[in-house]
Structure 1
Amino acid sequence: MRATSTFELIPMMDTIIAYLSAFVLGTLIGAERQYRQRTAGLRTNVLVAVGAAAFVDLGVKVAGTTEAVRVISYVVSGIGFLGAGVIMKEGMNVRGLNTAATLWCSAAVGCCSGTGNIAEAALLTVFVLAGNTLLRPLVNMINRIPIDDRATEATYEVSIISSREAMPQLRDLLVERLEAAKYPVSDVVIVDRSDETVEIVATLVSTAVHPHEIEAVTTFLEKQATVLNASWDSSTKT
């Protein structure tokens, strides 16, 4: 029987230590995630750490250290697919990125354990826990700082709704007023709203602007007799 012929006590003890360390360290990481009620909690992080340790340990035993490096690269890419499963998009908001990154780190802890680098695995666990706990007050403090619109790079769009007949003149007027305010236009798009009305959307070159200055342009345009509505919007660069 192959199992009895390949069994060796010392390598088996190494495997037990690798699995046990991955289990304990994965539990520490997962407990913090479970406490915060994240999608990937205690059991998921433990299984990721132990699974990574198992694959790497098997690679070392079967093919040696060189092939174990290849196994580690497969573990890294495989965890990417698992992490994508916990990322959720709700409208303009994306949730789960931190949880996915934590899973990735749990896999790294497992890989360290599987190669016998227990001290490195423990050190990495400390840094992961510090990143998820000690940095939280700093993140909250930064989030409370008011955003200065002049210091924030964003993409601005100015749009006006008008009759189809007045569109050529208003398009030129829109570009003229924006450039007069020192805001160059990168693109102008005409969108059909109905048989009689169109929307003229001017996208500004990505820059930092003063909202009051854009508001002044839209106020001027809205006073034109052929303009039904004038507005502006911005999206911060990611």
Structure 2
Amino acid sequence: MNKLARPAGVAAAAVLAVLGLASCGSTKLKGPQVASQMKSEALAPKGITKATVNCPAEIEAKAGAVVQCSLTSEGKKGDVTAKIADDEGTLSDYEADVDEIQLALIEQNAEEEESGLSQVDCPSSSKPKKGATFFCTGKISGSGFGVVVINQTAEDSSVKVKLQKRKLRTSQIERNITSAVKKRGINAKVSCPGTVTSQKGSVFRCTVRNPANGKQITIVAKQKDSAGNFDLKVEN
């Protein structure tokens, strides 16, 4: 009987192998394949298309396990995860920790959305999400640095932008005009708008009144650069 047991066992194993019933090794997921899925399912919906994703070279497909990959985009780092839904290696429940990367993308999109806007910088604590509003700074052509209000209109980092140009005080110009007139022996009263919006080429007017005789002239101030320097001339 003992002599027949081994051949019978071998025969049974052979039959199972032919029928495809023999035990097989677990499914393995390849890193590049997982990285591609992470890009399309977790990153692309956020508008992130230029990222390098690094996943483990080989991952065992075990239902319930979590796959974690790292990524970089233009020098900024993040992580993305997915859950293995079944033993076939189907991925689901993607999560992306990419606030820093997405915020940089939002800043870039704001510059593209608004002509003449550059060097947009938002607080690092900003949390990108659809409907979020960010109060940032940026360089506005002809005006200098001002406030840039960014509204994230969609998950894919699309934005709408409003600019708040900086305000310039005119008190120094008033003093300059007063000093220039005083050198001519006139103690004039100079009146300019309290503040003006900074924009190269913009104009405002000041009145210069001589209390001694009641005569009055108008000085035209024209902004000549984004630094807030002005050219002055008497209005004819």
TM-score (norm 2): 0.28
Q: Which has the higher strand share?
A: 2
Between the two structures, name the one with larger relative contact order (CA 8 Å, sep ≥ 6): 1
TM-score (norm 1): 0.28
- Which structure would you say has the larger Rg? 2
